[in-house]
Amino acid sequence: MKVFDRYTLSVLALACAMLLAGCQGQDKSAQAAPGKTVAVQLLTLSAATVAETDATPGSVVAENRVEVASRLMGYIRDIRVHEGEAVKKGQLLFTIDPTDIQGQVTQARAGMAQAEAALMDAKTDAERFSQLFKDESVSRQTFEKMQLKYQIAQSQAGAAKAGLQTAESQLRYAEVRSPMDGVITQKLAASGDLAAPGRPVLSVENGAKLQVQASVSDPTFARLKLGDSVMVEMDSKDGKVGLVEARIARLVPAADVTSHTHLVKLDLPATAGLQSGAFVRVRFAVGTRQSLRVPSAAFLQRAGIDGAFTVDEEGIAHYRMVTPGAKDSTGVEILAGLRSGDRVVVSGNAELNSGDRVTPAGKR
Write out the chain in H/E/C secondary structure: CHHHHHHHHHHHHHHHHHHHHHHHHHHHHHHHCCCCEEEEEEEECCCEEEEEEEEEEEEEEEEEEEEEECCCCEEEEEECCCCCCEECCCCEEEEECCHHHHHHHHHHHHHHHHHHHHHHHHHHHHHHHHHHHHCCCCCHHHHHHHHHHHHHHHHHHHHHHHHHHHHHHHHHCCEEECCCCEEEEEECCCCCCEECCCCEEEEEEEEEEEEEEEEECHHHHHCCCCCCEEEEEEECCCCCEEEEEEEEEEECCCCCCCCCCEEEEEECCCCCCCCCCCEEEEEEEEEEEEECEECHHHCEEECCEEEEEEECCCCEEEEEECEEEEEECCEEEEEECCCCCCEEEEECCCCCCCCCEEEEEEEC
The answer as to whether 149 is a domain residue is yes
The answer as to whether 157 is a domain residue is yes
The answer as to whether 165 is a domain residue is yes
**Whole-number pLDDT of residue 78:** 86
**Whole-number pLDDT of residue 362:** 53
Q: What is the pLDDT of residues 52-94, one digit of tens each?
A: 888 899 999 988 889 999 988 889 988 999 998 999 999 999 9
In this structure, are residues 162 and 169 in contact, taking their beta carbons and an 8 Å threshold?
no
The list of the chain residues with pLDDT below 70 reads 1-35, 236-241, 362-364
The answer as to whether 159 is a domain residue is yes
**Whole-number pLDDT of residue 239:** 58
The answer as to whether 296 is a domain residue is no
Q: Which CB contacts under 8 angstroms, 24+ apart, belong to 153-160?
A: 153/115, 153/118, 153/119, 153/121, 153/122, 153/123, 154/119, 154/122, 156/115, 156/118, 156/119, 157/112, 157/115, 157/116, 157/118, 157/119, 159/115, 160/108, 160/111, 160/112, 160/114, 160/115, 160/116
pLDDT > 70 fraction of the chain, expressed in percent and rounded: 88
Which residue range forms the structural domain that includes residue 103? Answer: 98-173
Count of structural domains within the chain = 1
The answer as to whether 150 is a domain residue is yes
**Whole-number pLDDT of residue 270:** 83
**Whole-number pLDDT of residue 23:** 41
**Whole-number pLDDT of residue 15:** 46
The answer as to whether 53 is a domain residue is no
The answer as to whether 119 is a domain residue is yes
CATH of the domain at 169: 1.10.287.470
Longest dimension (CA), the chain: 153
Which of 247, 192, 245, 233 is CA-nearest to residue 79? Answer: 192
Q: What are phi and psi of 212, to 5 degrees?
A: -110, 130
CA torsion through residues 154, 156, 157, 162, sign? positive
